[in-house]
A and B are shown apart, each in its own frame.
Chain A
């Protein structure tokens, strides 16, 4: 990773950390929804692999 992109990432993290707690909790909720969707599609895929056709 270049120094530029690393410092860009750090800046972004600082920017996120400086948001209000309410704003950060909203992001948490979106992350949680995304994690749930990924988990659901994984289990759907696993079922399809177990029962092909």
Chain B
């Protein structure tokens, strides 16, 4: 049974918003590419920050938009890490920032063809950024980070 206090409170409530439950469902449905998009945004942000410190190359969102030939608004959106990026956009980012953002794992098929001849070493070169592949999902990655961090000091301030 509702108390008078709660009844009084409910009189102040103007609306009901359950959109967050839709957001939850959407996230679950799209979590694989959302995690990759987020990690790409993070790598780009880190690179911009590094360039700013080193005073070289593209060091802010405005310059990045110019280099990509897109609007500053799009770059801003992209850096939130919630965009379903095209391969074209990812490759452009890699080129203008000179970083590797994704890694394609070579499928080891039993075949008479030499795939080494088909793919260049450049494509298959090991990424110096964190690569999200099916064999290393987001949770595994974070667990590795947490293990490597100083757990004692991490617990201190939280």
A binds B: no
Residues of A bordering B, CB below 8 Å: none
Residues of B bordering A, CB below 8 Å: none
